[in-house]
A and B are shown apart, each in its own frame.
Chain A
């Protein structure tokens, strides 16, 4: 039995809260409305976000501001090559006097909002320690599984240019992220505003707009957003067309994509669509919600072929071609 549809009042209330969160983040991260909106959508969809951009664009500040606004426990992990899995998940420590025993000391993952800064600089072994935490929202140390707090968000950052001494995330790791958001560089106007409004670059003081209970209501409201059949069909066809082996795949996908998006991508699109609909105050997902969420939700799930790098075709370019090729209303 489908959940009852959101009433206009509920949808409007959720939209106002989400808009307040978005507006506050926009005061921290200037002239990055799209990035902020996508981050808010990812939070409402309870998804993890991979922020990718040059250093100094405010990625870390965005995560810290989000933690403040949501009043959630926040931890920051600076990933380095010598970082061990136990350093992030926690480990048993022999403690006590007299009768000494091993006591589990929780790692930084045991927080609601975890900032994995420069995640691509740690070893794959450490990166893989995040897999279970991100997907299952629990960690297993020495055979004991421990549940992570709810909500649990991982906001990871990576530098796309400093590739020496880095370990690119494997596809399985990337697939755990709801969005990979490209943080674009800012212009002079934004820099000027940054220089004139902030002292030593310090962001303005933020006060929480949501507590844990309010965030839970937002999550519940997002779950009640209706996904119409035609829109779900559109999502399915979109994900299917991203596979170059499918007959419905457009030419761009056939040429530049080696592996398409997984079913997890379809789930991510549906969740992001619901979050965007909620952010807009609507009780149902529309095609525009899916189209708006598709680039961030699909670009890191497409494994590009060698021809794409030769012709300097990026994943967002392929996603745009995909959106143009797949109609909202199926032909034939």
Chain B
């Protein structure tokens, strides 16, 4: 008797439960798919709670909508047109009516249920789940672009600060600021104010680096002067010793007794010296005609030792250095060390021309002078007097006034500076030569230097959302912006004095004092 009623109940419950499960299933499926899209592999830990919550919700809804046995019996009674006899049978024994009940039970028809909508909705949810989990996910995104740029910026500033710290102490303020910027980057709070602080710090470091480079250049120059002075002193001392030896030889010639026993070596020595002098005289004549094999451009007049050969000059210079007790070698090493430090500092700040324009303009002065002197000192240095050296310097300065030429030759390694920097160096520091004054109009500006870079996301909005920001796009007026920038940096280059005009630093001053015997 209960079988058909239960059949009706199951049929009705199936539809009722399916309808009740639509919303929980869709919610659960959506949550699972979203978890997979947002959390990727971590969604595995969230799926069981989601499924459990969905099942609980669906069970509660299905329990509310479920069809009871009594309701199913009513429907079965109505479908069989039993007039309540099936209901009575479910409540109490009907005795002789049992046969009638059995006949009516056979007439019970399963109710017509609308199963397509709930089944379609459930199938759609499962299909959505399938698609959501089979959909390939894009590669995980790395750190956010604004943070990466900020980190790169802070790293660059820190590298500059470390390079500068090798020359001079940075101070607590700079170190604290660097530490704070690093913390802001690590915490993801790097905002526009931090960007400005980083730029300002980078600018200050560049200025201090320029000053340090200038000091190094001065020290290097002083060391070079000292080295040259030592070389010249060594030459004079050896000349005096030769003179004394010659005098002693002459005195030996005047006493025949003494000459029989001792004049042979002296005579040989005098002959050698005489031949050497004749050689030096020939060499001096060749130098006067500009055919010096060392490639010097300085016109060497016929000096006192102008006839000495190049081999004798090297021997004499080595002898002078040996007599000077090794001091020239130490000074040379000191000078080379200073030059290396200067180049290292310059290389550290050189790549960031945009921020270090002022510093480069300051550096260009001593570097240019140094290059000029290297050119002028090429040949006349060994064994020559001060007159030769004076000519070399004058010619070197004259060539250094050209656009970029002085710097390139001075470094001697083909390091071609930017055209605008060449303009600055020529007009700013080494003025006075025949080189023409070039304004910014002829300068070439790399448009990418002023390429439009939107503010970091969250630090000032998107470009399209700010009024007037597109009008400030430098790509639309590249030529004008480049020329103006060139002129601006050129003005700063002119304002910086060259290293020669600055007073000697204390540490270099002490070095010079020691060399000149405390004077």
Besides A230-B70, A230-B84, A285-B84, 13 new A-B residue pairs in contact (Cβ under 8 A), listed by A number: A5-B92, A5-B93, A5-B95, A5-B97, A8-B96, A230-B87, A282-B84, A282-B85, A284-B85, A284-B87, A286-B83, A330-B71, A332-B65
A86 to B90, CA, bound (A): 53
For the side of the interface on A, what is the size category? 20 to 34
Of the stretches B73-81, B340-348, B372-380, the one at the interface is: B73-81
Q: Is the pair B88, A5 in contact by a Cβ cutoff of 8 Å?
A: yes
Residues of B within 8 A of A229 (CB): 70, 87, 91
Which 5 interchain pairs have the tightest Cβ spacing? A286-B84, A228-B87, A286-B83, A284-B88, A284-B84
With an 8 A cutoff between CB atoms, is B64 at the interface?
Answer: yes
B64, B74, B90 pick with most chain A CB within 10 angstroms = B74
Interface positions, chain A 275-329, Cβ under 8 Å from B, are: 277, 280, 282-289, 328-329
* B88 contact from A7, A283, A289, Cβ within 8 A: A283
With an 8 A cutoff between CB atoms, is B94 at the interface?
Answer: yes
B65, B73, B84 pick with most chain A CB within 10 angstroms = B84
Q: Is the pair A230, B85 in contact by a Cβ cutoff of 8 Å?
A: no
B28-69 CB mask vs A (1 if < 8 Å, else 0) is 000000000000000000000000000000000000110000
Write the nearest CB–CB distance from A269 to chain B, whole angstroms: 14
Q: Is the pair A329, B84 in contact by a Cβ cutoff of 8 Å?
A: no
Residues of B within 8 A of A7 (CB): 95-96
List the B residue with the shortest CB-CB distance to A233: B70
Q: Is the pair B97, A283 in contact by a Cβ cutoff of 8 Å?
A: yes
With an 8 A cutoff between CB atoms, is A231 at the interface?
Answer: yes
**Are A328 and B74 also in contact (CB < 8 A) when A8-B97, A8-B100, A283-B94 are?**
yes
A289, A329, A330, A332 pick with most chain B CB within 10 angstroms = A329
How many A-B residue pairs have C-beta atoms within 8 angstroms? Tell me. 68
Residues of B within 8 A of A286 (CB): 77, 82-85
Write the nearest CB–CB distance from A196 to chain B, whole angstroms: 39
Write the nearest CB–CB distance from B108 to chain A, whole angstroms: 15
List the B residue with the shortest CB-CB distance to A290: B84
**Are A329 and B74 also in contact (CB < 8 A) when A5-B88, A285-B84 are?**
yes
Write the nearest CB–CB distance from A280 to chain B, whole angstroms: 7
Can you give 14 A-B contacts (C-beta < 8 A)? A4-B95, A5-B94, A228-B88, A230-B70, A230-B71, A230-B87, A282-B85, A284-B84, A284-B87, A286-B82, A289-B84, A329-B75, A332-B64, A332-B65
Q: Is the pair B92, A226 in contact by a Cβ cutoff of 8 Å?
A: yes
Write the nearest CB–CB distance from A109 to chain B, whole angstroms: 37
Write the nearest CB–CB distance from A238 to chain B, whole angstroms: 15
A226 to B82, CA, bound (A): 14
Residues of B within 8 A of A288 (CB): 83
Write the nearest CB–CB distance from A330 to chain B, whole angstroms: 7
With an 8 A cutoff between CB atoms, is A2 at the interface?
Answer: yes
Write the nearest CB–CB distance from B10 to chain A, whole angstroms: 16
Interface positions, chain B 83-128, Cβ under 8 Å from A, are: 83-85, 87-88, 90-97, 100
Write the nearest CB–CB distance from A225 to chain B, whole angstroms: 10
A136 to B73, CA, bound (A): 39
Write the nearest CB–CB distance from A296 to chain B, whole angstroms: 20
A300 to B71, CA, bound (A): 31
A102 to B360, CA, bound (A): 144
Write the nearest CB–CB distance from B2 to chain A, whole angstroms: 15
A288 to B78, CA, bound (A): 10
Residues of A within 8 A of B65 (CB): 332
Residues of B within 8 A of A4 (CB): 95
Write the nearest CB–CB distance from B460 to chain A, whole angstroms: 57
Write the nearest CB–CB distance from A209 to chain B, whole angstroms: 25
A231 to B83, CA, bound (A): 10
A332 to B68, CA, bound (A): 11
Residues of B within 8 A of A330 (CB): 71
A2 to B73, CA, bound (A): 21
* A231 contact from B71, B84, B95, Cβ within 8 A: B84
A287 to B73, CA, bound (A): 13
Interface positions, chain A 1-19, Cβ under 8 Å from B, are: 2, 4-5, 7-8
